[in-house]
Structure formats: C-alpha cells, structure tokens
Chain A
Amino acid sequence: AQSVTQPDIHITVSEGASLELRCNYSYGATPYLFWYVQSPGQGLQLLLKYFSGDTLVQGIKGFEAEFKRSQSSFNLRKPSVHWSDAAEYFCAVAFKAAGNKLTFGGGTRVLVKP
C-alpha cells in the first residue's frame, strides 16, 4: 500500500545541536515531496519541496532536505536548532496525476532543550 512513514514520533534535541528528521515513502513512482511545519494551534507552513533536479533542497529557516531515490527517503536536516524550531514536522507526498492531494506522514514532534 502507498504510504509515507516518519519513524520518529518524538525527538528531543539540545539548542544548537543538529537535527535530522526521517521520511520514507512507499510508491511506485517518484512523488513530489514536501516538508511542512506546524506550531501549536497553527496551520501548516511549507519548509521546502522537491519536484526534480538537484536532490539537495534548501528551504526556509535554515532547513534542507535530501532526496535519495534508492532509499525512497526525503530526510530533513538543520545544522543548529533554535528554541523556536520546537514544533511538529510533517513530510508529505503528491502526484501530479492525483491533482492537489497531499498524503502526509504521521508527523515528528521536536522538543528543544535549552
């Protein structure tokens, strides 16, 4: 079955440390890939997206993600986290043929320790 998996439900990281959030998808074709962030009580904000081309994608707030076709992964990274990065992060996929339907992973909640 087609799915998006975020293996880590919670991650705790110290302020200033690096962060990596994992995302794997299970689809026959390469989908379009997204990372969104959601702060408490808020909607979703797009961090970055991958459609084609360079497999290392830069986003807002210092985030980047790398698409690895061989591993069906699209992991999100940040070299040095700030307390304001505490939020829930969602990986999502879409297919052009399916219109604007996004399929989301279960999310990873990031806690930042001072």
Chain B
Amino acid sequence: KAGVTQTPRYLIKTRGQQVTLSCSPISGHRSVSWYQQTPGQGLQFLFEYFSETQRNKGNFPGRFSGRQFSNSRSEMNVSTLELGDSALYLCASSLPPWTDTDTQYFGPGTRLTVL
C-alpha cells in the first residue's frame, strides 16, 4: 500500500506570495492532519480534516488555511507569505474515528523556503 504523498517536495517563494501544498493520504484513510516543523518552534499542529470538514485547528494565523476533497486528498494554503513561514510542512493520515488501535502516518513533507 502506498504511503502518504506530498507535492511538491520543495518550493521557493518570495514574501507576499501565496502557496498551495498538496497531500494524498494512504488509500482508505479519511483523516488528514498538517504540521509545521521549524528549527525554532519544532513540530506544531496546524489543522485536521475529516470528511471535508475541519475538525481541529492549531494556533496559527488565518493566513493558513486548508481543505479536503471528497477523495480525502487535502491541500493547505498560505497567503501573504512571510519569512517565518519557511518550514517543512508535514501531512499525516489516519483512519478515523480515532481509535485505540490507530495512529497517524506521515508523508515526507514539503520544504518551503520564503525569500
């Protein structure tokens, strides 16, 4: 079974631009979560989607948004990019409802550099 895939793997943008990152979950997984990883702040939860609905949201400004499609694929968007948005963005998928036997599986990430 294929793992979580994220595209693109690398991205370079300039301040003020916007960016869209894509995540395809493991087949059959319906929940997708996004995380930001930076050297200074570590790994931080952005949001989680299930059945095209945002189920949970981390403490990030409104410039960060996401959505999920009917095939469970998810996209996240960052508008008006700032230098501090440079990070590795990780996507994880799982089988909700979240049970004691399940867990999240991570993709390889998208490395975003903002110049």
Query: Using a CB–CB distance below 8 Å, which chain A residues touch chain B?
Result: 32, 34, 36, 41-46, 49, 51-52, 90, 92, 96, 98-107
Contact = CB atoms under 8 A, between A and B. Distances in A.
A51 B102 CA distance: 10
B63 interface: no
Contacts, number: 61
Given A46-B105, A100-B96, A104-B44, 15 more contacts: A36-B106, A41-B108, A43-B106, A44-B92, A46-B103, A52-B100, A92-B43, A98-B56, A100-B92, A101-B45, A102-B43, A102-B45, A102-B92, A103-B45, A107-B43
Contacts of A102: 33, 35, 43, 45, 92, 104
A53 B107 CA distance: 29
B24 interface: no
Q: What is the size category of the interface that chain B forms with chain A?
A: 20 to 34
Contact of B48 (A45, A101, A105): A101
Interface string B62-96: 00000000000000000000000000001010101
Contacts of A107: 42-43
